[in-house]
Structure 1
Amino acid sequence: MRRFPLLVQVVIYVFLLILFLLAIVGGLYYQTSSQAIRQATEQNTRNAIEQGGAFLERYLEKMKQTTTSLVENQTIQDFAAQKGGDEAEVRSLFQALLASDSDLISALLVTKDGRLISTDPSLSMQTSSDMMSQSWYQEALNQKGLPLITPARKEVLSQGKEKWLITISQELEDSQGKNLGLLRLDMAYDSLERYLDQLKLDKQGFAFILNDQGQFVYHPRKTVYSSSREMKAMQPYLAIKDGYLKDQAFVYQYRLPKGPWTLVGVSSLEGLKELQGQILWSFLGTGLLALLLCLAGLWFVLSLWIRPLQKLEGVILKVAAGDKEVRADEKGSKELISLAVQFNRMLDQIEELMQAVQEKERNVRRYELAALSSQINPHFLYNTLDTIVWMAEFNDSKRVVAMTKSLAQYFRLALNQGNEQISLKDEIDHVRQYLFIQKQRYGDKLQYEIEELDTFADYHLPKLILQPLVENALYHGIKEKVGPGLIRIEVREEGDKLVLSVYDNGSGFASQPTSEQSLLRLGGVGLRNIDQRLKLQFGSSYHMQIQSEAQSYSRVSLYLPKEQPLGLGENP
């Protein structure tokens, strides 16, 4: 499973947390805002309809006052009572009234005995000498002196234009309350329509008027009056007094206190939904912007906070790479400073422990080198004494003296004042004394050559390294060879290595062995001893190479680093 960096994990977790909180806050904000807007829409609709109702009351009151002033006019009463009233005066009165009120379209007076005065010459009406027998006449009389307002209807005027009208009729009575006739005014509702259309009921909202019989007095869509389908579509609105219609519209009905009308307001919710959508998108946009700014700030702050940890990681990697001097910066927050202090303290303790371990290892190496060299000395001493005994048996005192001096010099170099490390120059001189002693024993069968490099005369290495190689070359190579043999000791440079090689032209090997086989074949303990001692001192920078050819030669080469390990190339 992939693991993200700490910074990314913290940012992701905080992002999800903020997103969750924004969703909760946004949901609550959206709900409360929507509820508040819905309540405001309801209240605005109620206020608008109630204001419209007040306007209708004034409108009706004006119509009533107009008809009342006409039925009480003495000229009209005299004409209706046949007391000498002039028809021309009545008609002139009607024309003056129409000129003063733009909503009035026509005025009509019908007397009880069937006489008719109308401002609209195209108007035709059924009259008789006894108007009391006419149903429409009786309907107006049933109002008991109050105006009768009929539903809207469409009329064709004298100019040939169609007009939607409202008719108000009122009985004309004498002073004793006897019927004299009927006054009717036809009124266009242009001003009423303009006012109702201006009510703030949203873009798709509208208002209409019903009378007490449930008939449409006014509707902005005139086809409602003649279309049964559209009239049926209005029934759901009529069933709601104050509430919502399928969450699509808000309906509020206002009954005029002093009139026969009910004003119904329908406020569509499209504007509400648009406003809710605007709130939602504005909140989403604002929330997203705030979220991005918050995340950017969080990323910046966390980067500053995590930077000391990243530096600490770099310090750890450097320590792992072997840098012992590097230390963590004690900067940042209190916790990070404490962490850096404890880390540096741990590094100091590790350094102290490592120094102690190194010192212990150096001591162990010294002890091991001393133990390994002690394994060699008895072996070489036995061989040397055996040679001296052999010479003494032949009473060759001069050679015994020379051998003894050489042996003394050999042991002086071997003992090396108790030091396990010896210079390369002294090590070669030590081998030279050894070969001199062996030359006295083997005579012409043994020849030797030594090639040195003065530049590495002071190079330090464990003592008694070359002597066992020369001894093996003598006993396993030259001794078994028929005829004279040669041992050559060579010191040379090869790249970054100092190569010490011991060559002999002895019997060699039948086949090229592996390194471990070579150690077992070429002298056993002595050769293994050399290999172990050099590995203890030089580690992986040292290696041994063995070359051989049957009945031809053998060469053992020691590859040592030119640069000696600090502290191990010096005498303790």
Structure 2
Amino acid sequence: MNFYPIKESSMNIKRRKKFNPNSIAVKYFVVTCIFIIVPILVFFILAQRFNTGTVLEQKRRSDLSTLNAFASSIREYMSSIETIASLIIHDEAVSHFISDASSSSAVHGKTIYKELDSSSCLAPFSSINTSILATGLTDASGLFIGEHKLNPDRLSYFFHDFFTKNGPILEPVWTNTFSIEFQDTGQVKKVLAHLTPITDKTGNISGYLVLFLDTLKFSELLTAYSDDIYVLENVYIIGSKREVPVNTSLYSFSQINYGLLLNDNCVIIDQKDDSLVVTTKVFPQLDFRLLLISSYRELRNNSAIAYPNLFTVLIWGIFFAVVSSLIIARFQAKPIFYLIGIMEHVKEGDFHIRFHSKAKDEISELGFTFNSLLDKVQTLMDEQKEHQKRKQKMEMQMLQEQVKPHFLYNVLEMTSSLIRCSLYQEAMDTLENLASFYRISLNNGSNIITVKDEIQLVENYLHLQKMRYIEFMDYMVAFSPNIYDYSVPKLTLQPLVENAIYHGIKEKGETGILCVAGYLDNQRVVFEIYDTGTGISPQKIKELEDAVAAETDISNHFGLASVVKRLNIHYNNQAKLLIESKLSEYTCVTVSFPAEK
């Protein structure tokens, strides 16, 4: 036999006529592009992020510088208040007032505080600083003395809790913010207080000076800055250049989560319209947090980073990747197209062609392996022809099994007897079952029917046999409806039922029961044929199983073995057979196969 190669150039021309998106060349191109473009994109993204990080770091340092300057302004303001407080506590009138109040309370009790008036000694200092809304004096336990300007209940509520938590205060301290109410107008103001201890001549603390400071002073200090700065106490805004209602939380005002701002930091917070750059600085003296908020979009637009240069590198890199990928894909796919061309010739029926290559790579090895496969094709085809002959022989045996002259003769003779005995209805039923049996078994020449038809066929057969062997045979049929629509080679059950009758029940010589059942188990159709006949010896079971497993002639056991053989042909050797029996008691034959429609 002569083999010839085909011309590689002509084959390549043929393959190029039609673009195939699933071809190996396209895959080479895509993979190569990915391996080249991905590093370029990664480099671009990292460079862009580095630039963004640089801009953000510059922004953080600038914002922290601004917040440090604002913090210095707050400290200067606090220092001025502490200086005023020091001036007041060293005034003789204030010292005498505290001393007299202490002496009076020792005689009359602390209720005497309400009859005193502290404004007499504090009046000279009422206008010393506009941010001081009020001044007050307390005894060593924190009870206000001679306070008539502010609501004493509000003061007691705050300062009782304050002194309870902090105990005796030995140094000047600043409180958290709280609200005071002026008794004459009922006006409520948000303030924070500065407490300074007042000592007597012996050095013991005799009371405290309390300066009530307007929190609007922080907003006033912010007017010197152009940035959007906020002063926070916990989650609430107490100072801003904007008009912010009292007790407004940061989240309700700007949708910024306070949990992101617990430490000195600079973060980008995404929002619906624009991302925000938020720089935070802790002001520990008052337990405040200073925030500077700016637009990330404006920061990015105003940055001096030359993004166009990066985009130029990206575009040139992608162009280089595409060109390189095309060249690599063409070079790698050329021998594959050559091999595909050979396969196309083989598909058209030319089994004489062979692959030829001087290379020793994997593709050449694949081509030489394909040559070996072609050498075996003829042998496989011969085997297939032999297999078809065996299959045709079995189909012929099946056809012979369908139409058994002696069975037809026996049924007709039985019908004649019924008519002679004037049992016309029984004769009519017999003929109807016979007609139905042959109508399904012939099935217009088709070998595959539904399980439902197979059940009908075996019921017709059992009815005919019952009429004939009425004195020693009874039967039951039980099939699950969920297997009706699956397909099965016809006359699968009938030979098994016939074996059970003739080699089981009939040979026993006494009344027997035949049960035929079917159900679905794990996507397999299962048929069971049970009879109370003579049973089968273990040696006979082994003989039957060997006949089913053998590839040789099975004529001795065609009734059982041919059923399994036909099922294996149809279901690609996935049929299973199980025989269980006990001599003189029972036999149960179970056949199963895949459930297919």
Tell me, yes or no, whether TM beats 0.5: no
Larger Rg: 1
TM-score by length of 2: 0.34
